[in-house]
């Protein structure tokens, strides 16, 4: 199965400052259909994960544009341009180019 | 707006069978895969398996020998059976809708396996 590795695992942030999370996959996530099957989620305490970004850089409806995703092949990044208190949570990357879908370990963003 | 609501027993003894059901409100039932995902304490999310509206299934190889996912399209429900549970199966279990990513999730069911 494809292994997803996130860094850092803990990310203390200052409100108003940017934040960046890295995700690396053990195999390329670029499909022959030219889509890259990399997703980002955030899980806030006591809630299920929420899909933030799909196919690397596409924001889900309602996700503010302070969130951006980038990368290709096996290396990906989620950036928050200006962190706010409401952004606290655990962020996960996930791949679904190959079954089973697999998740990163999670990055805990805290203020 | 799709909503997933799940239910099932939250406390099991070793060797028992975990059974959960998820009902889907709203949205298309036929255009997606319907999945089960779990989150053991302190560990990463783990996909268990999925089913589509016609009964086609996919399972995580690590759990395949103990898992059955079934569907009742008339009720817009799908279910998880996990046999011969051990303490290692203690986790929060989620149902989810997958089209690439998981864009809708159930509320989660904490399941504890303890003698």
At B19-78, the pLDDT tens digits run 999 999 999 999 999 999 999 998 999 999 999 999 999 999 999 999 999 999 999 999
Residue B104 has pLDDT above 90, yes or no: yes
Decide if A30 touches B, using CB distance below 8 A: no
The torsion defined by the Cα of B2, B100, B74 and B80, in degrees rounded to 10, comes to -100
**Average pLDDT, whole number, for chain A?**
97
CB pairs under 8 A between A and B: 50
Q: In which band, very low, low, confident or very high, does the pLDDT at B11 lie, cut at 50, 70 and 90?
A: very high
Q: For B53, what's the count of Cα atoms within 13 Å in the CB-facing half-sphere?
A: 10
Q: Are strands A107-110 and A10-12 parallel, antiparallel or unpaired?
A: parallel
Residue B103's pLDDT band (cuts 50, 70, 90)? very high
Answer whether B94 sits within 8 Å of A48, measured CB to CB. yes
Confidence of residue A20 (pLDDT cuts 50, 70, 90): very high
Q: By the CB < 8 Å criterion, does A48 face chain B?
A: yes
A94–B45: do the CB atoms touch at under 8 Å? yes
Q: Do A54 and B101 touch (CB under 8 A)?
A: yes
Rounded to 5 degrees, what are φ and ψ at A49?
Answer: -60, 150
- For residue A74, the model assigns a pLDDT of 98
* A11 at B interface, C-beta within 8 A: no
pLDDT recorded at residue B100 = 85
């Amino acid at each position: 199965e494809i292994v997803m590795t996130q860094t850092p695992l803990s990310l203390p942030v200052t409100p108003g400052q940017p934040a960046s999370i890295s995700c690396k996959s053990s195999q390329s996530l670029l499909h022959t259909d030219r889509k890259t099957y990399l997703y980002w989620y955030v899980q806030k305490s006591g809630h299920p994960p929420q899909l933030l970004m799909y196919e690397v850089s596409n924001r889900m409806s309602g996700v503010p544009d302070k969130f951006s995703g980038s990368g290709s092949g096996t290396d990906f990044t989620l950036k928050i341009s200006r962190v706010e208190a409401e952004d606290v949570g655990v962020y996960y990357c996930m791949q679904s180019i190959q079954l089973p879908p697999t998740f990163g370990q999670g990055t805990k963003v805290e203020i | 707006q799709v909503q997933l609501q799940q239910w099932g027993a939250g406390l099991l003894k070793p060797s028992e069978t975990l059974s959960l059901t998820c009902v889907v409100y709203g949205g298309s039932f036929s255009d997606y895969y319907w999945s089960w995902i779990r989150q053991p304490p302190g560990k990463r999310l783990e996909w268990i398996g999925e089913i589509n509206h016609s009964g086609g299934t996919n399972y995580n190889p690590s759990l395949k020998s103990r898992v059955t996912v079934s569907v009742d399209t008339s009720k817009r429900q799908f279910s998880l059976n996990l046999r011969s549970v051990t303490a290692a199966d203690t986790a929060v279990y989620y149902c989810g809708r997958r089209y690439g990513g998981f864009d809708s999730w159930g509320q989660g069911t904490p399941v504890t396996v303890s003698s």
